[in-house]
Amino acid sequence: MGTLSSGEARLLFSSAQVDYIRYWLHAMGLTKHTISLPYSDCLLTESSLSSVSPVVYSDGYAVRSAIKTIEKNNKRLKGSNPKLTHRRHIFERVRSLWAEKKGVWCAIDFEAWERDHTVLTEVGWSFSGWKDGMQVEGREHLIVEEAKKFTNSQYVPDHRYDYQFGPSKNVKKAEFKRQIGDLLSCLTQYGPVFLVFHDDKQDIKYLQSANVDAPLVGLSYTLPDGIPDSGLFVIDTADLIGALLGDSSGNTRGLEKMCNLLQIKTSYLHNAGNDAQFTILALKAMADGDPIDIQREKRWPNQTSSGVAVELKPWQEDSDYSDEEGVIPPLAGYDLDTGELNNQDRDI
* Per-residue pLDDT at 79: 64
Across 255-284, b (16+ Cβ under 10 Å) vs e yields bbbbbbbbebebeebbbbbbbbbbbbbbbb
Q: Which domains does the chain have, with CATH numbers?
A: 2-80 (no CATH), 99-299 (3.30.420.10)
* Per-residue pLDDT at 53: 75
Residue 270 falls in which region: left (phi positive, over 0), alpha (psi -120 to 50) or beta: left
Entry field: residues in the chain: 348
The CB-side HSE value for 166 (13 A sphere, CA atoms) comes to 13
* Per-residue pLDDT at 86: 84
Question: Residue 119 forms beta bridges with which residues?
Answer: none
User: Cα 286 vs. chain centroid, distance in angstroms?
Assistant: 5
β-pairing, 9-10 with 2-3? antiparallel
d(CA 42, CA 20): 17
Residue 172 falls in which region: left (phi positive, over 0), alpha (psi -120 to 50) or beta: beta
d(CA 210, CA 212): 5
Q: Name residues of the chain where pLDDT drops below 70.
A: 79-80, 319-348
* Per-residue pLDDT at 340: 46
d(CA 119, CA 124): 16
CB atoms within 10 A of CB 148: 12
pLDDT in tens, 264-284: 999 999 999 999 999 999 999
- Contact between residue 335 and residue 341 where contact means Cβ atoms under 8 Å apart: yes
Q: DSSP H helical segments within 216-287, as ranges?
A: 237-245, 255-261, 272-287
From the list 259, 263, 244, the residue with the least C-alpha distance to 308 is 244
What is the phi/psi pair of residue 328, to 5°?
-100, 115
